[in-house]
């Protein structure tokens, strides 16, 4: 009997159970090596912030990123983003820079600082296809002609939205491509079918984590709670956007009316100036003035005209 996977590994609760599980560090190691392809492969990691179910229960909206450290004391921060929030690129940079700075305690020398590496998995575009059509981008501190200043800060972005979805005959190649397939295709696949496509033994364990979430009532409820909280947050943001648009339209309508009145008053001023044989003020200069100032000018010109007629 085929078992359909109902868990989406891009939901941060599931992602952390897969990549931030201190009982399965081999999964984290495989993922980091697949993304970074380092000269010295990562062979050991320690999860610095394993998921705390009790804390999760009390704070459904806490950020469930994954922090780890390897045998060379390099610090890693892995997170997943399913919405593009304002200032996201800066926030990713802030987290990675924070992990770098937080290493240093009073009295420590700067030479003790180890590299901080951030990895962000996104289901939305961070950069436009025109700017960066590739789904995997890596950033380090370099000169404009490519000379590296330091390897202390490194950021990787993986935009799943830019990946061409696999067809049935597509052969999954390479470690990173296998992880891309896992994140994109796990939900809705059969466990047997996913295992056939992802032959590396580490994915047997990763699929097993999704299966555990699916079958364990407490974990399934926490996954659903997280998914519901995410949907509620998206709805709240959408409502705020719509309210902002409505207010903008109202302000635009009010501004349009004000501009119409300004144009009408400017025309009146020019008409009165013509009757008084005065030099006509420019429309631009008049419309730059407030409605109250225009009313005062109209009143003054009308008084001048009455005095001339009288």
pLDDT digits (tens, 9 = 90+) for 113-139: 999 999 999 999 988 888 889 999 999
Is residue 249's pLDDT more than 90? no
pLDDT > 50? residue 61: no
pLDDT at res. 273: 80
Neighbours of 82 (CB within 10 A): 17
Q: What is the pTM of this model?
A: 0.74
pLDDT of 64 > 70? The answer is: no
Query: CB–CB of 129/135 below 8 Å?
Result: no
Question: Is the pLDDT score of 305 beyond 80?
Answer: no
Q: For the chain, what is the total number of helices (H) and then of strands (E)? A: 10, 6
Reference 159, options 192, 128, 199; nearest CA is 128
Chain center to CA of 102:
23
Mean pLDDT across the chain:
85
* Nearest residue to 233 (alpha-carbon basis) of 13, 60, 5, 24: 60
Average pLDDT over residues 91-98: 90
**Model confidence at 74, in pLDDT bands (50, 70, 90)?**
very high
287 pLDDT band (50/70/90 cuts)? confident
Q: Residue 171: which pLDDT band, with cuts at 50, 70 and 90?
A: low
What three-state secondary structure class fits 266?
Answer: helix
Q: Residue 307 above 70 pLDDT?
A: no
Asked if the model's pLDDT at residue 46 lies above 70, the reply is yes
**Pairing relationship of beta strands 66-70 and 148-159 according to DSSP bridges:** unpaired
Among 127-131, 134-138, 265-269, 301-305, name the one with the lowest average pLDDT.
Answer: 301-305
pLDDT above 90 as % of the chain: 44
Average pLDDT over residues 84-109: 85
pLDDT of residue 288: 84
Cα–Cα distance measured from residue 111 to residue 154, given in angstroms and rounded to the nearest whole number: 17
Give yes or no for residue 59 having a pLDDT over 50: yes
Q: How confident is the model at residue 293 (pLDDT cuts 50, 70, 90)?
A: confident
Distance CA 137, CA 43 (A): 23
pLDDT at 54 over 70: no
């Amino acid at each position: 009997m085929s078992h359909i996977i109902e868990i989406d590994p891009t939901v941060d609760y599931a992602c952390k159970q897969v990549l931030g599980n201190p009982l399965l560090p081999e999964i984290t190691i495989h993922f980091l090596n697949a993304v970074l392809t380092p000269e010295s492969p990562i062979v050991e990691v320690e999860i610095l912030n394993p998921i705390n179910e009790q804390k999760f229960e009390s704070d459904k909206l806490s950020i469930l990123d994954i922090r780890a450290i390897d045998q060379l004391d390099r610090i890693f921060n892995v997170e997943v983003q399913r919405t593009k929030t304002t200032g996201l690129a800066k926030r990713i940079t802030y987290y990675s820079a924070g992990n770098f700075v937080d290493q240093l305690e009073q009295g420590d020398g700067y030479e003790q600082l180890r590299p901080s590496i951030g990895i962000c998995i996104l289901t939305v575009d961070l950069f436009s296809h025109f700017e960066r059509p590739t789904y995997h981008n890596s950033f380090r501190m370099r000169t404009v002609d490519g000379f590296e200043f330091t390897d202390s800060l490194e950021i990787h972005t993986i935009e799943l939205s830019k990946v061409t979805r696999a067809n049935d005959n597509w052969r999954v190649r390479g470690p990173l491509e296998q992880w891309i397939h896992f994140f994109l295709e796990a939900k809705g696949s059969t466990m047997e079918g996913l295992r056939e496509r992802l032959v590396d033994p580490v994915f047997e364990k990763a699929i097993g984590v999704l299966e555990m979430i699916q079958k364990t009532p407490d974990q399934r409820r926490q996954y659903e709670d997280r998914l519901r909280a995410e949907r509620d947050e998206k709805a709240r943001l959408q409502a705020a956007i719509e309210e902002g648009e409505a207010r903008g339209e109202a302000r635009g309508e009010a501004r349009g009316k004000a501009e119409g009145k300004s144009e009408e008053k400017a025309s009146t001023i020019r008409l009165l100036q013509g009757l008084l044989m005065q030099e006509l003020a420019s429309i631009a200069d008049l419309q730059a003035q407030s409605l109250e100032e225009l009313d005062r000018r109209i009143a003054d010109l009308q008084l001048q005209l009455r005095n001339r007629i009288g």
